[in-house]
Amino acid sequence: QHAPCSPLSKMEGRSQRGPPLFLSLLLFLLSFFLLPLPTSTALEHETIFKELREDCLVFGKQQLEQKPTHKKQSPLPPTGCRAYAKDGGLEGRLGIGGKETKELKGLLVPVGVKPPNLHVFYRFSLRGLKKGYKHTDNISPLSLMSFQRSLRALCAPQKKTTSVYIYLNSMEMEEREQIESWIVTHFMSLGLKKVMIDSSAPPGNMRSWKYLMRMMKGNVTNPNDVVLQLEDDYVIVESMLQEIIEVFMTHDFCFVHPSDYPDRYQLQKKNFMFGKYRVLPSTRRYWRTIESSTVTYAARLKTITFYESRIPNPLNDYKNSRTLWDQGAEWWSPLPGLSGHMQKCQLASYYVPWLPLLQRNFDDALHKELPFLGRNLEQSLACTPNWFQNSTMIVPKPK
């Protein structure tokens, strides 16, 4: 039995033969002469429809036409950095927030994995850049304040294995003394393993970076220790340092960059030519592969040593980080980002409540009498806070 609406049910009891051959031929000829030819409008609509179908791809039809120029030479670098540090890295954690609330949170840190020692090299480097950028001749007080808050947020055992090295350069004597005095007051009391302030770094972005690299080799000896190089124009989320430590416990990434730049999600040649991306979960958020980095990054000492000839520097950060990909070293960044590059507000990561975060840093800096702080939040930024309010993709408008 066929369904009542089935075409086969309507043909029951009829002859299954079709119309005579001459009648079929006549109908075909009539349809050929009577049907209108396609107009230019119809052809135009078909072309537009075809383009729309192609544009439904991530980066449009260009991604299909372009072949990735990036080719990995080795899936596993000799340093041993890879996706997961331990097999237990895939385990989930079920957190019970109440009688009726159950939430599956991030990964568990594998059993038996100890937190690595963390060495943070924070570098002041006053320099001139393009017009409209913050990093000209000004100290970035909110960046320093956010760094202090992130150190303060570390768990007590981790503070005892965290060393901080701060390099002051290109400052006048009076400025340097004020900053140094403030750092001594508000960093020494955090209970860190070591806090070292070095004011002998040479002026200039590249020269001060080379000086930092020499100091790193002299102060870090354990090849498994995590080294974080942090520039002074990054405002960081309070949990950034702790999450970087955790991601090196759940995974064993080669390089980690803490910012998730918005231009990575725009239709640009450098994006769709890079190839495929990977996304992996960690304890608190997802992490994704990225194609390049600045000189703000984290890696184990053995990874930095192995790739020393191609480590990103202020003159070749983009080129060198892409070259490291070709040599088998992957770059990863968090989703959403854990820091914002405040050269321009447009470089801040998506989906981070920047306005309240910056306001908390400003209020804390004002309370702690941080030198060179503006009279208000607007004077302490490269752009107005209204930009963060109006950009709904970055922060919801205050209620």
Which residue in 223, 237, 214, 228 sits closest to 293, CA to CA?
Answer: 228
How many distinct structural domains can be found in the chain? Answer: 2
Instruction: Name beta bridge partners: 298.
Output: 228, 256
Q: Which of 41-45, 77-81, 208-212, 332-336 has the lowest mean pLDDT?
A: 41-45
Q: Which residue has the higher pLDDT, 36 or 313?
A: 313
How far from chain centre, in Å, is Cα 232? 17
Domain shared by 57 and 95, yes or no: no
Length of the chain: 399
If asked whether residues 139 and 88 sit together in one domain, one would say yes
The verdict on 275 and 342 lying in the same domain is: yes
| Same-domain pairing of 87 and 52 | no
More confident residue, 276 or 242: 242
Q: Is residue 258 part of a domain?
A: yes
61-65, 77-81, 164-168 — most confident range: 164-168
Mean pLDDT of the chain: 73
Nearest by Cα to 381 from 350, 351, 354: 354
Contacts of 272-275 with CB under 8 Å at 24 or more apart are 272/58, 272/59, 272/60, 272/62, 272/63, 272/66, 273/66, 273/68, 273/69, 273/70, 274/68, 274/70, 275/68, 275/70
In a domain, 197, yes or no: yes
Question: Are 55 and 135 within one domain?
Answer: no
Average pLDDT over residues 365-392: 72
Predicted pLDDT of residue 335: 93
Scanning 153-195, the segments in alpha helix (DSSP H) are 156-159, 173-187
**Whether 57 and 87 share a structural domain:** no
Q: Which residue type is seen at 63? A: Q
Bridge partners of 120? Answer: 164, 228
Among 13-17, 35-39, 53-57, where is mean pLDDT lowest? Answer: 53-57
Under the banding of pLDDT at 50, 70 and 90, the label for residue 224 is very high
Percent of the chain with pLDDT over 70: 62
Contact between 299 and 227 under an 8 Å Cβ cutoff? The reply is yes
Query: Both 118 and 156 in a single domain?
Result: yes
- 3-class DSSP state for residue 246? helix
Who contacts 100 (Cβ-Cβ below 8 Å, separation ≥6)? none
pLDDT beyond 60 at 236: yes
Q: Residue 59: which domain range?
A: 41-70
Query: Best-predicted range by mean pLDDT among 130-144, 328-342, 372-386?
Result: 328-342
Where is pLDDT greater, at 331 or 379? 331
pLDDT beyond 80 at 353: yes
Flag whether 5 is in a domain: no
Q: Alpha-carbon torsion 290, 293, 297, 298, what sign?
A: positive
Residue 220 confidence (pLDDT) above 50 = yes
Whether residue 249 is found in the same domain as residue 120: yes
Within a domain: residue 359? yes
Q: Please indicate, yes or no, whether residues 47 and 104 belong to a single structural domain of this protein.
A: no
Has residue 219 been placed in a domain? Answer: yes
Residue 360 lies in a domain: yes
pLDDT score recorded for residue 33: 57
| pLDDT of 366 above 80 | yes
pLDDT tops 70 at residue 321: yes
Res 350: pLDDT: 84
Report pLDDT digits (tens) over 179-217: 999 999 999 999 999 999 998 888 888 888 899 999 999
pLDDT of residue 315: 84
Q: What is the mean pLDDT of residues 114-124?
A: 93
Asked if residue 13 is part of any domain, the answer here is no
The most confident of the ranges 167-171, 177-181, 307-311, 326-330 is: 177-181
Q: What pLDDT does 205 receive? A: 83
pLDDT digits (tens, 9 = 90+) for 254-282: 999 999 988 777 766 655 555 678 888 88
For residues 57 and 198, state if they share a domain: no
373 and 236 within one domain: yes
Specify the higher pLDDT residue, 165 or 45.
165
Q: Please tell me whether residues 384 and 270 are part of one structural domain.
A: yes
- Of 185-199, 307-321, 366-380, which has the strongest mean pLDDT? 185-199
**How far is it, in rounded angstroms, from Cα 134 to Cα 153?**
27
- 231 forms beta bridges with 123
DSSP string for 62-101: HHHHSPP----S-SS-TT--EEESSGGGG--EEEE-SSS-
Q: Which residue has the higher pLDDT, 301 or 130?
A: 301
**pLDDT band at residue 109 under the 50/70/90 scheme:** confident
Q: Is the peptide bond before 336 cis (omega within 30 degrees of 0)?
A: yes
Q: What is the pLDDT of residue 49?
A: 43
120: its two tokens: 């943070």
Residue 90: predicted pLDDT: 44
The residue behind tokens 């294995």 is: 161
What does the pLDDT read at residue 81?
65
Q: Domain with 296 in it: what CATH number? A: 3.90.550.10
Question: pLDDT band at residue 36, thresholds of 50, 70 and 90?
Answer: low
236 part of a folded domain: yes
